[in-house]
Amino acid sequence: MKNQILFTIVFTVFLSLFFTGITLPLISQENLLKNEFFEEWINEDNQPEHWTGSHSFNTNWYKNSEHVLTGNYSVEVRGGGTRTLRQVDIEEVEPDETYYAKVLVKGTGDIRVGITSPGGHTAYGDWVALDNDDWTELNYERTTPGTPGNQGGISIQTDEDGGQTPEETLYIGAAWIGTEEPSDGWPIFTVNFFVVGENGTIEASVDGEPISSGEKVEVGKDVVFTADPDEGFQVKEWTLNEEVVENHTAETFTVEGLDKNITVTVEFEEIPPDTYTVTFYIEDEDGNLIENAVVTFNGIENKPGDYVFENIEEGTYDYKVEKDGYYTAEDQVFVDDDITVEVKMNPVEAPTYKLTLIAEPEQGGSVEGSGEFEEGEEAPIVAEAAEDYNFSHWSGDKDYVDDPGSAETLVTMPGADVTLTANFDPIISVEDITVADVKVFPNPARDMFTVKANEMINQIRITDISGQVVMNLTVDKPHININVSNLQPGIYFMQIHTIKNIVTESVLITH
């Protein structure tokens, strides 16, 4: 019958649809409503986006997150007066068309559903008294009159006579209006999917049947996504509604129990080559572990003592091992597995320097301790006087001698050769002492001294004021002329050894 109002209320436990196992078709009908699941709200508590009401929202309509059909929110309406929730600015609603409305509701209270024609007239179905904790479907069908306008849509009224108490509360989970009845699988959601970048493809299926990106799928369905990477590539990451799916890089990804519009993406990356760990074992020639060596592998230098290199791809690599006191070890190694490279390092032999000891005069005694020594090494030296001689002092490179006045002492070797002279003096007995007439002239002198004595002169030794012997002459006659032109100007000591006497004269060279 034309314009007959048919109101059908079907009480079902809506959530049981999720678990029945009945295969429902993919849904193609179009819901003309916006914000059909009340997910978008203008502010914290007052008004769901695109919906209006006959009373103030902030005292009568509330966002509810505990009693949810799908998504995160439903609309809560409390008793205390007749309330109307509308969406009546839908331009697609035209006159002389049949429209189908459906509301999913649960709770306690009176409720009815109406359809508003383009001209603004609303016709309602019968009031229904609910007292049900399960989601219930309310259906209403109407052919709109031929009055033009832009006020078409849906209206939902609660609390028939205003006598309900605030404790009597209804929860509206979803609403529908369209030119076709929604399928038994409604609510429905849009499923979008695509590959980020290139290097592979993505497919999706529901109940084993493939779907295309942008298709609508009924609530509660499992959507299986399958990635097919190109050769040499693997799944890098999946995203669900712009959120990375943590710890999941498998080639399949399933969204279980669809309850919202979703967008799924997959991104591919090159499969990295196998990598290995290279460990160095470094020892000396005796097999002892060497610590804190520096290993350079493939141009990468580790800290001293760090002998492990990780994430090494297959190939041939140069390496170098360095350690103070050892010769550098260099070689190549081929890596195709985790390996340990054994390196034997040989110690560097320290350079040695020559220590030379001289006795002066030669018949005055003997010396011991000559040899080759490393820098910094302490070498013992000994001067032993012959009969009728006494040790006097060490001269030469005496700066390295602990005690130049001691016959037995130590030499600390520098990084150079060292020459030392042990000086001995003859012993003169009392009975052998006679007055010697020795003359040295001119004094001062420029280039030449003349020395005369009244007995045979055996030896003349000239030392500078530091004790360094600068001239040592064997004479064997009672007089001699000594050329000193090669000596620097200054004061010197001339020790004149005669057959029976030793006479020391201070002389001055002036040039």
Position 446 in a domain: yes
Q: Give CA–CA dist 371/365, Å, rounded.
A: 19
Domain boundary among 301, 330, 345: 345
47 and 161 in one domain? yes
Short-list 60, 142, 160, 134, CA closest to 98: 142
**Does 23 share its domain with 166?**
yes
Give the integer Cα–Cα distance in Å for 350 and 373: 10
63 and 193 inside one domain: no
Instruction: In whole angstroms, give the CA distance from residue 126 to residue 9.
Output: 9
Do both 39 and 158 map to the same domain? yes
Side by side, the strands of the sheet bearing 294-297 are 300-301, 294-297, 315-322, 329-335
Count of domains observed in the chain:
5
Q: How far is CA 349 from CA 156, 286, 294, 315, 325, in A?
A: 100, 15, 20, 36, 8
> Are residues 72 and 165 both part of a single domain?
yes
Tens-of-pLDDT digits for all 511 residues of the chain? 323 322 222 223 232 332 223 233 333 458 899 999 898 988 765 789 999 886 545 456 788 888 888 778 999 988 778 888 999 889 889 999 999 999 999 999 999 999 999 998 999 999 999 998 888 999 999 999 988 888 899 999 998 887 778 788 999 999 999 998 887 667 778 899 999 999 999 999 999 999 999 888 887 889 999 999 999 999 999 999 999 999 999 999 999 988 788 999 999 999 999 999 999 999 999 999 999 999 999 999 999 999 999 999 999 999 999 999 999 999 999 999 999 999 999 998 889 999 999 999 999 999 999 999 999 999 999 999 998 889 989 999 999 999 998 999 999 999 999 999 999 988 765 444 445 689 999 999 999 999 999 999 989 999 998 888 899 998 989 999 999 999 999 999 999 998 888 899 999 999 8
Burial-class residue 352 by CB neighbours within 10 Å (0-12, 13-18, 19+).
Answer: middle
| Residue that finishes a domain, picked among 396, 426, 456 | 426
> 1 in a domain, yes or no?
no
Q: Is 222 part of a structural domain of the chain?
A: yes
- Specify the 3-state DSSP secondary structure of 437: coil
Provide the edge-to-edge strand list for the sheet that holds 378-385: 365-368, 378-385, 408-412
The two three-digit tokens of residue 418, written as one number: 């060292």
Query: Are residues 195 and 263 in contact, defined by beta-carbon separation less than 8 angstroms?
Result: no
Three-state SS string over 47-76 comes to: CECCCEECCCHHHHEEEECCCCCCCCCEEE
Asked whether residue 266 falls in the same domain as residue 309, the answer is no
Nearest CA-CA partner of 397 in 473, 493, 468, 494: 468
Backbone angles phi, psi at 59, to 5 degrees: -115, -5
Question: How many angstroms separate the CA atoms of 229 and 236, rounded?
Answer: 10
Predicted pLDDT of residue 381: 96
Same domain, 258 and 392: no
Residue 411 within a domain: yes
CATH number at residue 404: 2.60.40
Distances (CA, A) of 136 to 31, 159, 175, 215: 19, 17, 12, 26
pTM of the model: 0.42
Regarding whether 441 and 377 lie in a shared domain, the answer is no
For residue 188, the model assigns a pLDDT of 75
- Whether 145 and 73 map to the same domain: the answer is yes
Q: Are residues 235 and 283 in the same domain?
A: no
Residue 445 DSSP label: B
Domain span at residue 299? 276-345
pLDDT at residue 9 in the model: 29
pLDDT at residue 44, rounded to an integer: 62
Cα(105)–Cα(156) distance, integer angstroms:
11
Domain termination site, one of 315, 330, 345:
345
Q: Quick one: 19 and 155 in the same domain?
A: yes
Dist CA 365 CA 360 (whole Å): 8
Cα–Cα distance, 174 to 185 (Å, whole number)? 13
- Distance, in Å, from the CA atom of 327 to the CA atom of 213, rounded to the nearest integer, reads 68
Helix, strand and coil percent figures for the chain, each rounded to 5: 5, 55, 40
Q: What is the CATH number of the domain that holds 463?
A: 2.60.40.3080
- CATH at 297: 2.60.40.1120
97 plus 25 within the same structural domain? yes
Determine, yes or no, domain membership for 75: yes
Contacts 24+ apart (CB under 8 A), 314-320: 314/273, 314/274, 314/276, 317/278, 319/280, 319/295, 320/295, 320/296
Torsion of CA 292, 296, 300, 304, to 10 degrees: 10
Residue 295 lies in a domain: yes
183 in a domain, yes or no? no
What CATH number corresponds to the domain at position 22?
Answer: 2.60.120.260
Tell me whether residue 341 is in a domain.
yes
